[in-house]
């Protein structure tokens, strides 16, 4: 194994005497995405094959009853954890969206919002009644997503916030996030949410080009996005703006212009995502989008509407150049933040809990998925019913059983690959001693891990500290982080035919 640039060398800019876990490295020179793919064709994922997710698709499938038994027996009391509530309602359905959602009824006086608030709280209460440890877990982050969670009105948000405070050990400094679209933050919605204890927001803009927005089926325009951003800036709370690249009618120039405008507007965190036409429903974590239809794909492709792979990665490279030039840094990968937006490593707490630390995540709502990781060699993944009507009927029936569809038991091998993948996504120093203590393996030396990590180091995707205590993704690694996680970690490492962990 060749040792690449050490993390505490001048090009990375970390003082060897400092705490490596909380210092942001300086950005070393990087290759373009296409240069990386030319050198590593195994990472190439064309538009319609781009179906990457950090969550493992491996492991032994568990029944709903077996999964619930694992949740009940989880030794999570006193351990850090994350809560997620999935609101499956949208005012409109974007043509590229393959998350679990349905159109919110029009002119129903808020009845649908009342119903889904009630259902989510009922599901949470069911777990509280059956899992003693859950009320004793240290909840450090709470996230309301969707769908469009910010469709919930102040009284709905207050009901969920009160339920969580009354039934969970919510940390005093917990990060509480609300996700929504620009058209949900045009009045006093953000200010009202802050008064309820929400202290972080996620705004799904995707594009400031109205032609792109109209084509994808979104109902807000660039003016709405600018207005919503101004409302969020006034709160003084951190927030991210989600932006996509590789969409129809985008060019390098228009995408760069979008990012430059967000920077000028004072957006603290800009999250960039490559458009993917993934069949998430086949992965058990979503449903079909309008563009998942094979006939639609064929027609759009024949009209040249999908940017080529080269054009798509040229967009990402150009965006990265702009963000670096304005002193933004990715932590986690793809989430570019200004300095001091977040404490200790400049990473949101939700990302620290879910990805860097891989704490247990309990997820409520249709299609929601989570995992258990407390005191285990084997990760347990949990998956709720994806079908919204089936979920609704199940919770309404009051069977005393949660609306689980299935689970996955990852063997020690697959578990390490998954935890490693999430740590890579976090783009924080990966402390090798943690893997030794938690999984009984040394990632640099033990087979098959040493071989995979060695390949990542030799390829320039990972940097190794001179004392060999930790590794960290390089900027090249960040550029193609999802492809690396999919191929090297889930594919090569997770599927490797090797001895089980030492412990």
Region of poorest pLDDT, from 322-331, 386-395, 487-496:
487-496
* Cα separation values, 154 from 66, 150, 232, Å: 37, 9, 16
pLDDT number for residue 316 = 97
361 found inside a domain: no
43 falls within a domain:
yes
**Residue 501 pLDDT > 50:** no
Which among 354, 378, 394 is the end of a domain?
354
**What tokens were used for 21?**
């876990």
Q: Do 200 and 136 reside in the same domain of the chain?
A: yes
Q: What angle do CA 31, 37, 40 make, to 5 degrees?
A: 105
Alpha helices in 131-202 (DSSP H): 154-167, 189-195
Cis peptide before 448 (omega within 30 of 0): yes
Residues, the chain = 503
Return the HEC string of 293-357. CHHHHHHHHHCCCCCCHHHHHHHHHHHHHHHHHCCEEECCCCEEEECCCCCCCCCCHHHHHHHHC
> For position 4, what pLDDT does the model report?
39
Pairing of strands 169-180, 138-146: parallel
Checking if the pLDDT of 11 tops 50, the result is: no
In a domain, 402, yes or no: no
Beta strand residue intervals within 29-111, DSSP E: 60-62, 80-87, 89-90, 102-103
Which has the minimum average pLDDT: 8-17, 28-37, 181-190?
8-17
β-strand pairing of 80-87 with 138-146: parallel
pLDDT at 388 over 50: yes
433 CB burial (10 A radius; 0-12, 13-18, 19+): exposed
Residue 271: name the closest of 302, 310, 245, 247 by CA. Answer: 245
More reliable by pLDDT, 137 or 47: 137
Q: Give the 3-state secondary structure percentages of the chain, helix then strand then coil, rounded to 5.
A: 40, 20, 40
E-strand ranges in 333-373 read: 335-338, 360-364, 369-372
Task: Kindly report the pTM of this predicted structure.
Answer: 0.92
Kindly state the tokens that stand for 461: 């995707």
Same domain flag for 92 and 153: yes
Q: Crossing angle, helix 64-72 and helix 111-130, to 10 degrees?
A: 60
pLDDT digits (tens, 9 = 90+) for 276-305: 876 666 666 677 888 888 899 899 999 999
Residue 416's domain comprises 1-59+411-503
Does residue 363 form part of some domain?
Answer: no
Find where tokens 């709502």 sit.
Answer: 365
Dihedral sign for Cα atoms in the order 38, 334, 327, 466: negative
Please write the tens of the pLDDT for every residue from 142-171.
999 999 999 999 999 999 999 999 999 999
**pLDDT tens readout for residues 226-273:** 999 999 999 999 999 999 999 999 999 999 999 999 999 999 999 999
In the prediction, which pLDDT does 503 show?
27
Same domain, yes or no: 67 and 42: no
Domain end call among 354, 376, 399: 354
Q: Which tokens in the block code for residue 132?
A: 């003693």
- The one-character DSSP state at 259 is H
Alpha carbon of 473 to those of 1, 322, 348, 428, 488: distances in Å? 16, 20, 18, 8, 13
Query: What does the pLDDT read at residue 466?
Result: 94
* 500 or 475: which leads in pLDDT: 475
Between residues 12 and 394, which one has the greater pLDDT? 394
Examine the domain organization and report whether 166 and 182 are in the same domain: yes
Q: Are residues 220 and 176 in the same domain?
A: yes
Structure tokens at 289: 């989008």
The burial class, CB within 10 Å (0-12 / 13-18 / 19+), for 234 is exposed
Nearest CA among 371, 362, 368, 407 for reference residue 386: 368
- Tokens 């249709």 label which residue? 366
CA–CA dist 78, 132 (Å, integer): 11
Number of domains in the chain: 2
> Rounded to the nearest 5 degrees, what angle is found at the Cα of 163, between the Cα atoms of 108 and 205?
60
Is 141 within the bounds of a domain? Answer: yes
Q: What is the mean pLDDT of residues 437-447?
A: 93
Point out the domain boundary residue: 339, 354, 369.
Answer: 354
Q: What is the arithmetic mean of pLDDT over 375-382?
A: 91
**C-alpha span between 238 and 180 (Å, rounded):** 14
Q: Is the pLDDT of residue 438 over 70?
A: yes
Give the angle 497-500-501 at the CA atoms, nearest 5°.
135
Mean pLDDT of 410-427: 94
Share of the chain above pLDDT 90, in %: 82
CA distances (Å), origin 448, targets 214, 387, 441, 501: 48, 39, 10, 10
**Domain shared by 155 and 136, yes or no:** yes
Residue 298 CB-density burial (10 A; 0-12 exposed, 13-18 middle, 19+ buried): exposed
Higher pLDDT, 454 or 9: 454
Neighbours of 115 (CB within 10 A): 15
Q: Are residues 19 and 144 in the same domain?
A: no
Residue 328 predicted with pLDDT over 60:
yes
Does residue 360 belong to any structural domain of this protein? Answer: no
- Asked whether the beta carbons of 329 and 23 are under 8 A apart, the reply is no
Copy the structure tokens of residue 333.
Answer: 């990968």
Cβ-count burial 394-410 (b if 16+ within 10 Å, e if not) = bbeeeeeebbbbbbbbb
Question: Mean of the pLDDT values across residues 372-378?
Answer: 89
pLDDT at position 326 over 90: yes
Q: Are residues 154 and 282 in the same domain?
A: yes
Reported as type and span, the H/E element at residue 173 is: strand 169-180
Can you give the pLDDT at residue 284? Answer: 64
Q: Which alpha helices (DSSP H) does 131-183 contain, by range?
A: 154-167
Strand 380-384 versus strand 60-62 pairing type: unpaired
Count of Cβ atoms closer than 10 Å to residue 335 Cβ = 25
For position 130, which CATH number holds? 3.20.20.70
16: number of Cβ within 10 Å:
12
The pLDDT of 170-177, averaged and rounded, is: 98
Q: How far apart are CA 70 and CA 360, in angstroms?
A: 12
Do both 436 and 322 map to the same domain? no
Between 49 and 110, the more confident residue is 110
Q: Are 182 and 264 found together in one domain?
A: yes
The mean of the pLDDT values for the chain is: 90
In-domain check, residue 371: no
Asked whether residue 54 falls in the same domain as residue 84, the answer is: no
- For residue 156, tell me if it sits in a domain: yes
Distance CA 273, CA 242 (A): 7
Same-domain status, 130 and 52 = no
Nearest to 246 by CA among 303, 206, 218: 206
pLDDT of residue 495: 79
């Amino acid at each position: 194994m060749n040792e690449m640039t050490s993390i505490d060398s001048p090009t990375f800019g970390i003082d060897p005497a400092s705490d490596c876990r909380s210092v942001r490295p300086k950005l070393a020179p990087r290759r373009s995405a296409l240069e990386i793919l030319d050198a590593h064709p195994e990472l190439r994922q064309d538009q319609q094959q781009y179906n990457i997710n950090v969550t493992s698709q491996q492991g032994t499938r568990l029944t709903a009853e077996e999964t619930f038994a694992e949740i009940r027996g989880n030794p999570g009391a006193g351990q850090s954890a994350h809560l997620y509530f999935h609101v499956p309602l949208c005012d409109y359905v974007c043509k590229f969206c393959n998350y679990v959602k349905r159109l919110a009824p029009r002119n129903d006086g808020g009845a649908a919002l009342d119903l889904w608030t009630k259902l989510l709280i009922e599901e949470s209460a069911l777990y509280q009644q059956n899992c003693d440890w859950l009320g004793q877990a240290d909840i450090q982050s709470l996230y309301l997503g969707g769908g469009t969670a910010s469709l919930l009105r102040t009284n709905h948000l207050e009901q969920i916030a009160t339920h969580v405070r009354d039934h969970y050990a919510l940390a005093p400094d917990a990060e509480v996030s609300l996700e929504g679209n620009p058209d949900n933050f045009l009045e006093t919605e953000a200010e009202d949410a802050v008064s309820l204890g929400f202290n972080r927001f996620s705004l799904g803009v995707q594009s400031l080009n109205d032609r792109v927005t109209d084509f994808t089926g979104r109902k807000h325009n660039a003016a709405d996005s600018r207005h919503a951003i101004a409302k969020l800036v006034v709160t003084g709370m951190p927030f991210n703006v989600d932006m996509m690249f590789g969409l129809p009618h985008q060019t390098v120039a228009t995408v760069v212009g979008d990012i430059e405008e967000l920077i000028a507007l004072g957006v603290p965190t800009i999250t960039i995502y490559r458009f993917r036409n993934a069949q998430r429903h086949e992965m058990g974590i979503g449903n079909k989008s309008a563009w998942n239809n094979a006939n639609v794909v064929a027609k759009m492709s024949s009209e040249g509407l999908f940017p080529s792979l080269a054009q798509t990665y040229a967009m990402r490279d150009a965006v990265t150049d702009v963000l670096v030039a304005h002193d933004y840094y990715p932590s986690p990968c793809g989430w570019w933040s200004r300095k001091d937006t977040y404490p200790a490593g400049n990473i949101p707490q939700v990302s620290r809990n879910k990805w860097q630390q891989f704490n247990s995540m309990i997820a409520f709502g249709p299609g929601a998925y989570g995992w258990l990781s407390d005191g285990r060699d084997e990760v347990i993944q949990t998956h709720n019913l994806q079908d919204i009507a089936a979920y609704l009927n199940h919770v309404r029936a009051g069977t005393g059983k949660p609306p689980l569809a299935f689970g996955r038991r990852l063997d020690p091998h697959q578990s390490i690959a998954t935890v490693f993948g999430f740590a890579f996504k976090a783009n924080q120093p990966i402390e090798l001693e943690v893997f030794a203590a938690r999984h009984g393996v040394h990632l640099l030396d033990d087979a098959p891990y040493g071989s995979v990590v060695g390949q990542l180091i030799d390829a320039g995707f990972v940097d190794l500290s001179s004392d060999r205590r930790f590794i960290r993704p390089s900027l090249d690694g960040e550029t193609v982080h999802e492809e690396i996680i999919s191929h090297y970690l889930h594919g090569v490492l997770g599927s490797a035919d090797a001895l089980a962990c030492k412990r």
